[in-house]
């Protein structure tokens, strides 16, 4: 299999992190230069179907895009350590928190960074400071929700590390491009973030 990835983008890092957690080493990493527009070439679109990263190309040529879809596929092939939930109840909680972290944290941070970092102007038709500010505030509102959640739970979805944690920390780490740090008063969020960043797989996913 081949993973089309970019170290400049946050979503491919989710997949690399999952691979590192699971010890998956038999996937070839193909670096795509998004700043040069390699993901928009006819060749890439023909291979993947869309100009999105990451994309996993199977041995038969089938391509899977969207980071969470790829992660679910890898989990099905490599069930341990489990990152998506072991039974119906846990799977529902992991899915709920993963979607929340993506919609209310990771995506707003991505838009905030893309509309405020000068080097990323090439990825937007027009950078809009007001879009960056609105999305930063949206993300910070959800950070408060996470801080309350993490006051009573070691990890976002409960008592163990899951894909929800990966989605959240990758989103927060992307904000470091603009030297952003979460509000200091969110102490439970800070504790969780430090512990999660210390995981060996977190470094492998960078």
* pLDDT average, residue stretch 42-62: 94
The neighbour count for residue 190, using CB atoms within 10 Å, is 16
Q: Do 88-199 and 2-77 fall under one CATH topology?
A: no
CATH architecture designation of domain 88-199: Up-down Bundle (1.20)
Across all residues in the chain, what is the average pLDDT? 94
At 205 the pLDDT is 66
- pLDDT tens for residues 115-130? 988 777 767 768 888 9
Which residue is it, tokens 């999952």? 18
Structural domain boundaries of the chain? 2-77, 88-199
Q: What percent of the chain has pLDDT over 90?
A: 84
At 177 the pLDDT is 86
- pLDDT tens for residues 95-115? 999 999 999 999 999 989 889
- pLDDT tens for residues 128-179? 889 999 999 999 999 999 999 999 999 999 999 999 999 999 999 999 988 9
SS3 110: helix
* 2-77: CATH superfamily: Glutaredoxin (3.40.30.10)
- DSSP H helical ranges for the chain: 10-22, 42-48, 67-77, 88-101, 107-114, 129-150, 163-174, 187-197, 200-204
What dihedral do alpha carbons 95, 99, 100, 105 form, nearest 10°? 140
The pTM assigned to this predicted structure is 0.94
């Amino acid at each position: 299999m081949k993973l089309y990835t970019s170290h400049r983008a946050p979503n491919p890092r989710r997949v690399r992190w999952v691979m590192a957690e699971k010890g998956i080493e038999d996937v070839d990493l193909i670096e795509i230069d998004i700043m040069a527009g390699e993901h928009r070439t006819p060749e890439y679109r023909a291979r993947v179907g869309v100009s999105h990263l990451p994309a996993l190309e199977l041995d038969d040529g089938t391509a899977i895009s969207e980071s969470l879809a790829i992660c679910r596929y890898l989990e099905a092939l490599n069930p341990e350590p489990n990152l998506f939930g072991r039974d119906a109840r846990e799977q529902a909680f992991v899915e709920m928190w993963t979607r929340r972290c993506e919609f209310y944290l990771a995506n707003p941070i991505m838009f905030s960074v893309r509309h405020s970092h000068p080097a990323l102007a090439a990825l937007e038709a027009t950078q809009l400071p007001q879009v960056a500010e609105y999305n930063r505030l949206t993300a910070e509102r959800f950070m408060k929700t996470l801080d309350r959640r993490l006051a009573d739970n070691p990890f976002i979805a409960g008592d163990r590390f899951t894909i929800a944690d990966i989605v959240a920390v990758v989103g927060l780490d992307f904000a470091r491009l603009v030297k952003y740090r979460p509000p200091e008063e969110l102490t439970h969020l800070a504790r969780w973030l430090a512990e999660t960043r210390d995981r060996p797989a977190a470094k492998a996913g960078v």
